[in-house]
Structure 1
Amino acid sequence: MSQSSIYAEIGGREAVERVVDDFYDRVLDDPLLEPYFAETDMEALFAHQVQFVSAVAGGPVDYDGADMQAAHEGMGITEEAFGQVAEYLHAALVENGVGEATADSIIGEVAALEDDVVGK
């Protein structure tokens, strides 16, 4: 399956917005993760996340947010927190109708960013 077909397969922007909404519901309900977002403009973050997931899925969107390392610098994100976020994204994808193989492909793209996101 090509990257360009993933965005269309999952249902385009509306589907990505549903996934991201579900994803943040999960993240913000987790006591481990919620503190990372305490002083975050969630509306802006939601828009960036929709853009990011759309771009990773091969949609007609270019991600124009800060690079991952700059965006997460100084946040002290742990490997455990990163892994939990990836699990929630995977669950949100699958529970919103994205096939397991497609969800795995998207998570593979996200996993490749771990070194840029996790604080050392």
Structure 2
Amino acid sequence: MTDSLYERLGGEDAIAAVVDEFYDRVVADEQVADYFDDVDMQRQRAHQAQFISSVTGGPVEYTGAEMEAAHEGMGITPSDFRAIATHLDDALAEFDVDNDDREAVLEEIASYKSDIVTAAD
């Protein structure tokens, strides 16, 4: 049996480490950091780790808000979405996730783009 993407990423602890690196990059980026000004980042990191674990086939059920509801009224643009995705890709690369698995994670995230992006560039 082939390992799930979740298992190939290293499971819960490894995904949590990637998420920490990801948000360190995001909040340092002037283009997108403002989206997180009033956000409980500990809670956000936990939700993101849960979400990534869920969409990569882990034994985790995502219990956060639906993507559209969670991002409603935020005015996220396509370029903001790309910046966030780049930070995720870079965080995955920082932990030596291979190209195919990084692409698979990004494809999962991209499948939610229409629920997240609500404004034009």
Number of aligned pairs? Answer: 119
CA contact (8 A) 1:10 1:97 kept: no
With the length of structure 2 as denominator, give the TM-score of the two structures.
Answer: 0.94
| Deviation (angstroms), 1:97 | 2.1
- How far apart, CA to CA, are the structure 2 residues paired with 1:18 and 1:105? 18
Corresponding residue number in structure 2 for 1:58: 57
What letter corresponds to residue 22 of structure 1 in structure 2?
E
Name the SS of the counterpart of 1:98 in structure 2: coil
Per the alignment, in what secondary structure is the counterpart of residue 74 of structure 2?
A: coil
Q: Structure 1 regions of 5+ residues with no counterpart?
A: none
- Equivalent residue number for residue 47 of structure 2: 48
Aligned-partner Cα distance in 2 for 1:51–1:75? 21
Q: For residues 45 and 17 of structure 2, what CA distance do their matches in structure 1 show?
A: 11
Show the counterpart of 1:100: 99
Superposed structure 1 runs of 4+ greater than 3 Å apart:
none
In structure 2, stretches of 5+ residues that fail to align are: none
Displacement of 1:21 in angstroms is 0.4
**TM-aligned CA deviation for residue 51 of structure 1:** 0.1
For 2:20 and 2:52, the matched residues in 1 are separated by 12
- Any idea what the Cα deviations from partners look like across 1:48-75, whole Å, max 9, x if unmatched? 0000010111110011110000000000
Q: Percent identity?
A: 45
Distance 2:57 2:96 in 1: 17
Cα distance in 1 between the residues matched to 2:117 and 2:8? 30
- AA aligned to 1:62 is E
Counterpart residue type for residue 107 of structure 1? L
Query: What is the distance in 2 between the residues matched to 1:56 and 1:90?
Result: 16
Aligned to 2:76: 77
Give the TM-score, by structure 1 length.
0.94
SS of residue matched to 2:30:
coil
In 2, Cα distance between the equivalents of 1:56 and 1:85? 17
